[in-house]
Amino acid sequence: MTDSDPPAHDGHGDAAPPPSDDTPPRLIAGGRAVSLAGLLERIEAELEAEIGGRTDLLTRDALPDEPARREMIRDVVDYVLNVESVSVPRAERLALLDAVYDEVFNLGPLRAYLDDEHVTEIVINSYDRLYVRRDGGSLHGAPSGFGDAAHLERVAGRVLASAGARLTTDEPLQEVGVKLAGRPARVTVTGAPISPALHVEIRLHPANPAALADLVGRGMLDDEAATLLRRFLEAGRGLMIAGDAGAGKTTLLQALLPLAPGQGMSVERAAELQPPPGWRQVAPIPARVDVPAVDFAAQILAALEEKPAWLALDEVRFDESAAMWAALSAAPGPRCLWAFRASTDPIRLRTAFSMAIRRAVQTLDQALIHDALVSRLPGVAFMAHRQGRAQVTQLGEWVPAGGGVALRALWGR
């Protein structure tokens, strides 16, 4: 765990720069030559104006009927072409309709990456610097497809709007869970004054979640480690998953949820998981004009009131230390299955855990903190990037030792 978690620049500063795109602007030949990019921007602006600026309505979920979506696009395109006195041949007009539809409902330059199941992360440092991670490997530069900073802002704005969020100078960082091309995704967008250029991170999961056996097949862990994890959960014992950003914590957590006996609740930083039947899922709610924000900590406390048999958290940080201790000290409390963005060194993890609790309850006896580890979160799965992919590197168990606790190793690579 870290005291604060700014948007990760997980190695892409050292990655190869993305290929340059010096393609000249495409022109539409009609009554007068206009650029395709300029026309697209004008059509998008008119489309948003006609729906009162409610860009959250321009999503597949809000408009599930594709013919209705295309009809709406057609009406706006015809109106703009008429106002701008642009006359185009039928073939050009059909291509324009497809381009607008692709830009609005398929997120334009992101579509190819979203459709690629091997792409697990997209990082955009600015409109012309885009990086992708495939199959949990390293980030590599890729063509961005964004024409300029305004183009990137429009696409990022539509993604945030689909989750009911928007970026402002008062709220310059937004982290939301959405579905993109049918895939659960965590989207983090950072703007001014935190970041001089718009920064976007998209973490993608498969449309069909992987089971634990699938992760064994991918080499994330072996059969022995998978058996240990199954036994922990079947016995109703808690587990903490620790690792850096992008180490595969959410992927492992997703595979473990169906193995936890009984019903539960998952509280997530962004709604990335696909909980099994009998589970409920909640996530922070961004502030809106008529609705106050509900943060991650508040959702943890609300989940505790429902007394679930299991409580899955993805992912815990220092900011939620008070809610974290409330869950660990509740009697009777839920069985815990938590992911931490944390060190994979056992001593540092134990120290960070204690510091987080003490931040919430400064006078708490250390013995109570150690007891919470042993009784509520006894199991530990450490995760890291190795050999170009996310892997479970060690499994252990917190046990009493010398008046404190120590990690007893159960499995390791």
- Domain membership of residue 17 (yes or no) is no
Q: Is residue 22 part of a domain?
A: no
Number of helices and strands in the chain (H, E): 12, 16
pLDDT tens track for 44-85 = 888 888 877 676 677 776 777 889 889 989 999 999 988 888
On whether residue 13 sits in a domain, the answer given is no
DSSP calls for 110-156? GHHHHH-TTEEEEEEEETTEEEEEETT--EEEE-----SHHHHHHHH
pLDDT for res 362: 87
Residue 168 CA to residue 179 CA, distance in Å, equals 22
Residue 159 CB partners (closer than 8 Å, separation 6+): 107, 176, 178, 180, 187, 189, 202
* One domain for residues 65 and 32: yes
- Domain tally, the chain: 3
Q: What is the CATH number of the domain that holds 141?
A: 3.30.450.90
Q: 116 with 188, same domain?
A: yes
Residue type, 276: P
All residues at 6 or more sequence positions from 102 whose CB lies less than 8 Å from its CB, including other chains? 108, 111
Secondary structure element (H or E) that encloses residue 353, with its range: helix 346-360
Q: Which domain holds residue 360?
A: 212-412
367 and 264 in one domain? yes
Could you tell me if 169 and 311 lie in one domain?
no
Give residue-wise pLDDT tens across range 13-48.
445 555 555 555 555 555 555 677 778 888 888 888
Alpha-carbon Rg of the chain, whole angstroms? 24
Among 204, 232, 266, residue at a domain's last position: 204
Residues 6 or more apart from 218 whose CB is under 8 A from it?
210, 389
pTM for this entry: 0.80
Q: pLDDT grade, residue 330 (50/70/90)?
A: very high
Question: Does residue 193 share a domain with residue 78?
Answer: no
* pLDDT tens string 262-294: 999 999 998 899 999 999 999 998 877 677 889
Give a yes or no: residue 10 inside a domain.
no
User: Domain end: 187, 204, 221, which one?
Assistant: 204
